[in-house]
């Protein structure tokens, strides 16, 4: 007959064995990080997301007490770098930065992704939002989305909008205008948004949706016409440019948002530690000064949390899927 003492010892041993993995995980999280952390940027160096990544990484590194190594892994609309991040160990030592294009739109644009953004990643938090501006050739004498929609409905068959390639932020902005305003304007794709903007300035194409980072200076210089900011309210950098919220399309809100993620399965205490460093970096005066000069705004407090960023990612994937499906826009 098994004694009561043996039963108690066996039960205690089982409980200890069950607790060991959790204790080890908590111990590892408490010591995290003990070595440099990798940040994968799925774009070439020098672009807006790369610049943002390096600014945020600098602040996070100070908070974490370890270097953050930025690795540029461009290719196939950001899917090469994103796939690399999905394969990384879920230990907090590999992070990914992405935006509305690489994260939300690519989920519908690419038919054969090797990863599932909602299944294979955990969102850490949003790090920066760039307001988007509808800029037109300077001789297009219209202001606000109502006048723009009326004009394009009458002349759209002879018009083109510029974009930095299928899936780019500028491309998605043009597609969003077509869908929301009931337009059918053709896209002219360039190798970069800068080339497209040059052709808007030259009058070769009619308009484009561009980040405030680059559009503000050209609008103020009178090189292009600021038609509308795709936000509920005007932005401080362009006080004379009407907002979408002042038109009959008040629900049209389009920012290029950027967020950081880690592979799914990363221990929650490590996710929390990385998020703490992320929010510390976003809030730092030095970060705000550098990003404000580039037209990038701090995300809402909610979107800087893992829960808020996860909600944003899911809602944006759901937002873009029917638009891109309806237009039959896919990439093999």
Q: If we measure between CA atoms, which residue out of 270, 294, 276, 256 comes closest to residue 55?
A: 294
* Average pLDDT for 22-48: 78
| Domain positions in the chain | 36-129+256-326, 131-246
Using the predicted structure, report yes or no on whether residue 24 has a pLDDT greater than 60: no
Cα angle: 166, vertex 204, 179; to 5 degrees: 40
Tell me the three state secondary structure of residue 218. Answer: helix
Q: If we measure between CA atoms, which residue out of 181, 158, 154, 185 comes closest to residue 171?
A: 185
Query: pTM score, two decimals?
Result: 0.76
Rounded distance between C-alpha atoms, residue 322 and residue 332, angstroms: 18
pLDDT of residue 169: 81
pLDDT confidence tier of residue 62, bands split at 50, 70 and 90: very high
* Average pLDDT for 242-256: 93
- Residue of higher predicted confidence among 215 and 136: 136
What residues are paired with 224 via a beta bridge?
Answer: 137
* Average pLDDT for 13-23: 52
The CATH number of the structural domain formed by 36-129+256-326 is 3.40.190.150
Decide whether 36-129+256-326 matches 131-246 in CATH topology: yes
* Average pLDDT for 300-311: 97
Query: Tens digits of per-residue pLDDT, 77-124?
Result: 788 999 999 999 999 999 999 989 889 999 998 888 999 999 999 999
- Which residue bears the tokens 């879920």? 90
Q: φ, ψ for residue 202 (rounded to 5)? A: -80, -10
pLDDT confidence tier of residue 29, bands split at 50, 70 and 90: low
Rounded distance between C-alpha atoms, residue 284 and residue 58, angstroms: 11
pLDDT of residue 223: 96
CA atoms within 13 A on the CB side of 240: 6
* Average pLDDT for 50-71: 95
Rounded distance between C-alpha atoms, residue 259 and residue 56, angstroms: 11
* Average pLDDT for 255-274: 96
Rounded distance between C-alpha atoms, residue 303 and residue 106, angstroms: 20
From the centroid of its chain, how far is CA 315?
13
The pLDDT > 70 percentage for the chain reads 89
The CATH number of the structural domain formed by 131-246 is 3.40.190.10
Using the predicted structure, report yes or no on whether residue 291 has a pLDDT greater than 90: no
Query: Tens digits of per-residue pLDDT, 66-82?
Result: 999 999 998 877 889 99
> Residues 96, 318, 243, 184: is their CA dihedral positive or negative?
positive
Contact 171, 164 (CB under 8 A): yes
Query: Tens digits of per-residue pLDDT, 320-332?
Result: 898 888 777 777 6
Q: Mean pLDDT over all residues of the chain?
A: 88
* Average pLDDT for 190-200: 83
Provide the residue count of the chain.
332
pLDDT of residue 271: 98
* Average pLDDT for 30-56: 88
Using the predicted structure, report yes or no on whether residue 14 has a pLDDT greater than 80: no
The pLDDT > 90 percentage for the chain reads 62
Using the predicted structure, report yes or no on whether residue 17 has a pLDDT greater than 60: no
pLDDT of residue 212: 83
pLDDT of residue 165: 74
């Amino acid at each position: 007959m098994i004694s009561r003492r043996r039963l108690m010892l066996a039960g205690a041993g089982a409980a200890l064995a069950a607790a060991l993995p959790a204790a080890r995980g908590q111990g590892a999280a408490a010591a995290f990080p003990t070595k440099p952390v990798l940040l994968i940027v799925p774009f070439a160096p020098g672009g807006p997301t790369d610049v943002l990544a390096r600014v945020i990484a600098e602040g996070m590194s100070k908070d974490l007490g370890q270097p953050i190594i930025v690795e540029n892994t461009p290719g196939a609309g950001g899917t090469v770098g994103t796939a690399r991040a999905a394969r990384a160990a879920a230990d907090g030592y590999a992070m990914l930065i992405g935006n509305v294009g690489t994260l939300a739109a690519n989920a519908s644009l690419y038919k054969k992704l090797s990863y599932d953004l909602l299944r294979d990643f955990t969102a850490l938090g949003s790090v920066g939002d760039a307001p988007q501006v509808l800029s037109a050739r300077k001789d297009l004498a219209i202001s606000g989305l109502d006048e723009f929609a009326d004009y394009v409905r009458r002349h759209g068959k002879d018009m083109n909008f510029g974009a930095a390639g299928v899936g780019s932020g500028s491309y998605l902005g043009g597609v969003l205008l077509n869908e929301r305003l009931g337009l059918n304007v053709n896209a002219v794709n360039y190798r970069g948004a800068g080339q497209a903007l040059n052709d808007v300035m030259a009058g070769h194409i009619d308009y484009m949706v561009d980040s405030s980072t680059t559009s503000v200076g050209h609008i103020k210089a009178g090189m292009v016409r600021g038609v509308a900011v795709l936000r509920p309210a005007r932005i401080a950098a362009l006080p004379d440019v009407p907002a979408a919220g002042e038109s009959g399309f008040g629900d049209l809100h389009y920012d290029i948002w950027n967020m950081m993620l880690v592979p799914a399965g990363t221990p929650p205490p490590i996710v929390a530690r990385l998020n703490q460093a992320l929010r510390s970096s976003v809030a730092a005066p030095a970060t705000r000064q550098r990003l404000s000069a580039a037209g990038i705004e701090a995300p809402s407090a909610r979107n800087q949390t893992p829960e808020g960023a996860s909600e944003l990612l899911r809602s944006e994937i759901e937002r873009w899927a029917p638009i891109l499906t309806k237009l039959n826009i896919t990439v093999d």
